[in-house]
Structures are given as structure tokens and as C-alpha cells.
Amino acid sequence: MNNNPNQPRVYDAVLGGKIPPPLSGVVLGGLEGVQNRLQSSVVEAQVSALSEALNYSDVGLEIVIQALHNQSGQVRLSAYNILRSRPTNHPKFTHFLQNSENLR
């Protein structure tokens, strides 16, 4: 057994290479993991990350709002649908939702 505290142990999650995670897999890392998957070239990983982003209150809401400007139409539409289906009185949310009608 490795006694070095700086080395991963058998059951530790370790950030791997540049290969995107499987769509049915679990990615650990909280908000950082969400942001990491949003940088993925795999649209499905980005869409999945958006669904999780709202678990992180205003920071997650900001991430979803920013996704309204994503290059992928599918990601933009997913962000729009997530925001549209989520009741909130957050002024930034209301502003972006009103101005994003053309994204559909």
C-alpha cells in the first residue's frame, strides 16, 4: 500500500486525460466538474452538465445563462429549456429569458 498522502489511493477519483466521460458515467468534482464538462467537445456532456449546474444556486444559474451563448444550438436550446422550466424571480434570469426568445 502506498503511504504517500499526495498519491491517489485505490478508491480515489482521479482526473484523467482528455477523453470525455461516458454519458452514463458519473463525474465527480462538484461545480468544477460541471465547468469541466461544459468545456467538452461532446455536446451531450455539455447538456448533461447544464442540468447539474442548477444544483449550485446563483453560480449554477449564471453558468446556464452563459450557455445561452454557446456555439452549439443544442446546448443553447437546452439552457433555454432549463431556464424556462425553472421558476425563479432572479432578475438576471428574467432579463436573459426575455431576451432569449430568438434562441428557440
> Is residue 25 domain-resident?
no
Total number of domains constituting the chain: 1
> Is residue 18 domain-resident?
no
> Is residue 38 domain-resident?
yes
> Is residue 1 domain-resident?
no
The grid cell for 56 is 449550485
> Is residue 78 domain-resident?
yes
pLDDT in tens, the chain (104 residues): 556 665 655 555 555 556 665 666 554 568 888 888 899 899 999 999 998 898 888 888 889 989 989 999 999 999 989 888 876 666 666 666 666 555 55
8 A C-beta contact, residue 38 and residue 64: no
8 A C-beta contact, residue 71 and residue 78: no
Give how far Cα 42 sits from Cα of 13, 21, 26, 45, Å. Answer: 21, 9, 15, 5
Q: Which ranges constitute the DSSP H helices of the chain?
A: 30-38, 43-53, 57-66, 73-85, 91-98
Which residue segment(s) compose the domain that 49 sits in? 30-103
